[in-house]
Structure 1
Amino acid sequence: MRILVTGVGGPTPRSFAASLKKYSTYAEWELFGTDINPYAIGLYKKELFNECFLISSARNPDEYWNDINQIVFEKKIDYAIILPELEVIEWSKRQASGNLPCPSIIPDFNVAKVLIDKSKMTELLEDLKIVPLSVKFHRNQTNFESILEKLSFPFWVRSTSGTSGLGSLKVNNLSELISWIQINPDVDQFMASEYLPGRNLACKLLYWKGNLIRAATAERVSYIMSKVAPSGITGNTSFGRLINEPLLVELTHKALERIFNYCGALAHGFFTADFKEDKNGKPYITEINIRHVAFTQCFAAGGANFAEDTMRLLDNDPQFNISYKMYEFEKNLIFLRDVDEVPILMKEEDLLKKLKS
């Protein structure tokens, strides 16, 4: 099976590729990668990809599609896995016109637009009481009364779009807020949200042609290179737990049903919802990604191979059970990750033994 994986300079596409190569025997995988950056390490990962290509950015659609179409045609690509958000948006536009170069699991264009705009998503879900209290504001705003009428310090501030915690920080007073806006000149729209001190959780849902097929949950505990980000969040988990929490699935499904209905769209695609808990342990959705995230390989190592599930659905595998399943993990199963390292899964008590020795 010949698969195109885009954005291989990022950890998520490489994690998806590793999930197939290391943990799936469904097919003999031939993986082809693309990236827009000639320095992207994934372009040169021969143990993962049969061949990789430098392509034009999706910001230049004509050149981008010329490159993609040529690769699909010349390499006889069966299916594509599109992971950078900008490319997901571009493929969802093309999908709406029924003109994809090869099959791929892509969400509806309007759904993707809503979820990329975190303030719009929050607005649509506000009455369900499953998102934190939030206020959107522009970087040129000088009067912050509208924020302070709704929120009290400390609160969380971040960009309304983008990944890896772009523009994120816990601010404790007005001076910190103003300074943070000034040192993030590339962010036009911010969102202030109530500060949630509890666990940082994730829920993955795979939808196929109107139905929820697979789900799994995890906890992010700490991040790779967390010291380089004032918020401590880099979007790349270094230590996490594979957990079994059906409530997260219920809340994510409820949120996505609202958005699918609002957009008049079929429930279809792969989504990762991020949660933070309040001081009482109640989880709130902070964002929903329209793609896999970087520790997809850790799920696969724990028995929840969403990459294989995706490919079997695309391949119309008659042996694949499309009945809903929430993956359940062994108790106390954790994962450790680092840059350029293969993730390690172990029991948390084994980690504690190391700490005590």
Structure 2
Amino acid sequence: MKIVITGACAVSARNVLRSLKMSEKFKDATFIGWDMCSILYGVYSKDFDRLYKVPGVNDPMYREVIQSILEKEKPDAVMVLPEVEVLYWAKSPFDVPHITPPADFCELAISKRKLFNLLEGSGLIPVSVDLSREDAFDDNYKLPLVFPMWVRDASAGTASGKGSFKANNITELRAWIMINTGIDNFQISEFCPGGNYGVLCLFEHGKLLKLAIAERLEYIMAKVAVSGITGNTSKGRFLNDEHIKQQALDTIERVCKVTNSVMHGVVVVDMKADANGIAKVTEINIRYVAYNSLLASAGFNLAEYHLLTAMGRSNELTPEVEMQFPKNNLWLRDVDAIPVYIEEHSDLHIGDYVSK
């Protein structure tokens, strides 16, 4: 069996590969990757049996190059992972087994601005507005939100906490916008001090097949980011929470309704709890999160479920939609280290030790 994973040099793709190598169904497959190869670690880590360098989806040569690889390798399925590539395949699919959300859903979800405009007044999102550079430095412009407020890059497909910052006053807000010269579109939102969640969902033709909730607790190299958020989680846990689940599914349903879409494929709804503990949607990702292999470590292999569904084998999935996670589970990630899942975590006291 031969499987292609796109965006292969990125952390998310390498975690999908790790998950599939944990799968009894796919561990012996030949894994082919392709990527623009700007992340050199992914090029030389030798994770894939073969790794192709390809142009970006906006390059006129993209389709010709991808078609030639597909004709040469003849894969049994393709797992399309980067958001811009998911959007491309949703609009202009290739004749090979794969699944992506519907094109119109992707077009709306990938844009924070479009998503927030749709959900405005629903109670599902933090109160948010766009902010231009000109307005931020105009003394006559009255900010529609009170401090503290959250500011971030509002461009489509952004990740890793790009442009994110908690501004406590106008001086900090202006300073942040001034130093982030590469960002044209900012969004300001009410600051939500509560939990930070990701709801990972797999759908097939409108049916929810699998769902898992993760809470992000700490971030890798958090001290180097002013916001404390780098986009790569170092410590987290898996939850079972009906409120968070329903907020996420309600959001997906609303986007499907307005785009006349039948949900299909993998999406991740990111959420942040407000001061009252109400989970508010911050974005919908049409891609995997970087810590996805930890689900496989916990016994919930989303990458395996995704691939089976793409190959028309969803009948092989176990019937439960959610896994019930132990209350004290914890997972840890670090630079240059294999992620670790702990089923039952307890704090160490002075003098305690752990052994192999």
| TM-score higher than 0.5 | yes
Matched-pair contact (CA < 8 Å) for 1:135–1:147: no
**Do the aligned partners of residues 348 and 321 (structure 1) sit closer, same or farther apart at CA in structure 2, a change above 3 Å counting?**
closer
Unaligned runs of 5+ in 1: none
Q: Give 1:59's aligned residue.
A: 58
1:79 partnered with 2:77: yes
Equivalent in the alignment of 1:156: 150
Provide the rounded CA distance (Å) in 1 between the counterparts of 2:31 and 2:139.
50
Task: Tell me the distance in 2 between the aligned counterparts of 1:347 and 1:244.
Answer: 14
* Between structures 1 and 2, the one with greater helix share: 1
Question: Relative to 1, partners in 2 of residues 1:10 and 1:153: Cα closer, same or farther, differing over 3 Å?
Answer: same
Call closer, same or farther: CA 1:282–1:40 in 2, change over 3 Å. Answer: same
C-alpha contact 2:79 2:307 (8 A) present in aligned 1: no
Read off the aligned partner of 1:250 and give its amino acid letter.
Q
Pairwise CA distance, 1:180: 0.9
Q: Please give the residue correspondences for 1:80-229 in structure 2 after superposition, counting only pairs within 5 Å.
A: 80-95=78-93, 100-141=94-135, 142-143=137-138, 148-149=143-144, 151-161=145-155, 162-229=158-225
Once residues 190 and 325 of structure 2 are traced to their aligned partners in structure 1, the CA distance between those partners, rounded to angstroms, is: 32
Q: How does 1:257-336 map to 2 (within 5 A)?
A: 257-317=253-313, 319-321=315-317, 325-336=321-332
Larger CA deviation: 73-82 vs 133-142: 133-142
Contact 1:212 1:324 in 2 (8 A): no
Q: Please give the secondary structure, in 2, of the residue aligned with 1:252.
A: helix
The CA deviation string for residues 16-71 of structure 1, in whole angstroms up to 9 with x for no partner, is 000000x201133211111112553223333x3111111111120x3111221111
- Residue by residue over 1:132-155, the C-alpha shift from the partner in whole angstroms, topping out at 9 and shown as x without a partner, is 000112223343776623x10000
Q: 1:169 to 1:86 in 2, by over 3 A?
A: same
Amino acid at match of 1:16: V
Secondary structure at the aligned position of 1:286 is classed as strand
Q: Secondary structure at the match of 1:353?
A: coil
Name the amino acid aligned to 1:287.
Answer: E
Give the TM-score, by structure 2 length. Answer: 0.92
Change beyond 3 A, Cα 1:178–1:303: same
Q: Counterparts of 2:319 and 2:7 in 1: how far apart (Å)?
A: 31
Shift of 1:345: 1.1
Percent identity, aligned pairs only, is 36
CA contact (8 A) 1:276 1:284 kept: yes
Q: Aligned in 2, Cα 1:297/1:163: closer, same or farther, shift over 3 Å?
A: same
Instruction: Provide the alpha-carbon RMSD of the alignment.
Output: 1.9
Task: Report how far residue 211 of structure 1 moved.
Answer: 1.1
Shift of 1:169: 0.2
Please give the per-residue CA displacement for 1:270-296, whole angstroms capped at 9, x wherever unaligned. 111111112221111111101110010
Q: Distance in 1 between matches of 2:331 and 2:350?
A: 16
Letter in 2 for 1:133: V
C-alpha distance after superposition, 1:169-206 (max 9, x if no partner): 00011111111111111211111000011111111111
Corresponding position of 2:348: 353
Structure 1 length as normaliser, TM-score? 0.92
Counting matched residue pairs gives 348
Find the counterpart in structure 2 of residue 34 from structure 1.
Answer: 34
Any idea what SS the aligned residue of 2:200 has? Answer: strand
Structure 2 segments unaligned to the other structure (5+ residues):
none
Q: Give the stretch that moved more between structures: 139-148 or 301-310.
A: 139-148
- In 2, Cα distance between the equivalents of 1:40 and 1:193? 35
Change (3 A) 1:234 1:277: same
1:3 is aligned to 3
